[in-house]
Amino acid sequence: MTADPNGCRWCGKAPDNHGWQQHPAVGLHQWEKPTMQQKTDRMTARRPARNQVRATRGER
Whether 34 contacts 8, CB under 8 Å: yes
The CA distance from 16 to 31, in Å, is 9
pTM of the model: 0.73
Mean pLDDT of 4-24: 94
pLDDT for 19-60, tens place per residue? Answer: 999 999 999 999 999 999 999 999 999 888 777 777 788 776
Which pLDDT score, from 0 to 100, does residue 33 have? 97
Residue 1 has pLDDT above 70, yes or no: no
Residue 14 has pLDDT above 80, yes or no: yes
Phi, psi (5° rounding) for residue 26? -125, -5
